[in-house]
């Protein structure tokens, strides 16, 4: 059975357009592989269907591997550590005293949480701006700004 080159082209374009509907960012490489097979089938019309299918698998694998191993930019490790957030300023939502825990809310999440239970060595009423001085387990140690 001989498969026309334009069928591969339509199949490849359909897969690429499907990627726009389903943003998986994986179907795209199969579409590019099909488009490449259509160009080869146009240049070599006597290419059998099994060889075209094999070329499609090879081209799809190569384009996928190129993207994930070579072309994709490596993301910097942006995990926050406790040392990198010391000094952040937040708003005290529940007052804190020497013997009572309070609550502090930060503008950006600190280690995954926007609001933390906090302790302090002095009395600080709710509504004050405070600075993070340490993280002790699940509790933030704060001081008045």
Chosen CATH of 82-144 out of 2.40.50.140, 3.40.50.300, 1.10.3720.10, 3.90.1660.10? 2.40.50.140
pLDDT on residue 112: 82
Give 80's pLDDT tier (boundaries 50, 70, 90).
Answer: low
Give 75's pLDDT tier (boundaries 50, 70, 90).
Answer: low
Does the predicted model carry a pTM greater than 0.85? Answer: no
Q: 58 vs 5, 12, 24, 45, 129, CA distance in Å?
A: 17, 14, 20, 19, 60
Say if residue 128 is exposed, middle or buried (CB neighbours under 10 Å; 0-12, 13-18, 19+): middle
> Domain map of the chain by residue range?
5-71, 82-144
Q: Which residue has the higher pLDDT, 108 or 8?
A: 8
Strands 102-110 and 89-94 turn out to be antiparallel
Give the C-alpha separation, 104 to 48, whole Å. Answer: 69
pLDDT on residue 108: 84
Give 84's pLDDT tier (boundaries 50, 70, 90).
Answer: confident
Contact 134, 143 (CB under 8 A): no
**Can you tell me the mean pLDDT for 41-58?**
94
**Can you tell me the mean pLDDT for 114-125?**
94
């Amino acid at each position: 059975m001989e498969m026309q080159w334009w069928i591969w082209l339509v199949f490849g374009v359909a897969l690429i357009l499907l990627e726009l509907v389903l943003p998986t960012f994986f179907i795209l490489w199969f579409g590019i592989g099909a488009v490449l097979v259509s160009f080869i089938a146009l240049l070599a019309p006597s290419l059998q269907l099994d060889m075209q299918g094999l070329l499609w698998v090879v081209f799809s694998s190569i384009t996928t591997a190129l993207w994930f191993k070579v072309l994709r930019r490596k993301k910097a490790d942006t995990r926050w550590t406790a040392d990198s957030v010391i000094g952040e300023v937040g708003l005290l939502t529940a007052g804190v005293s020497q013997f009572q825990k309070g609550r502090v809310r930060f503008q950006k999440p600190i280690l995954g949480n926007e609001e933390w239970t906090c302790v302090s060595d002095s009395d600080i009423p709710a509504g004050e701006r405070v600075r993070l001085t340490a993280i002790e387990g699940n509790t933030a140690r704060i001081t008045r700004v």
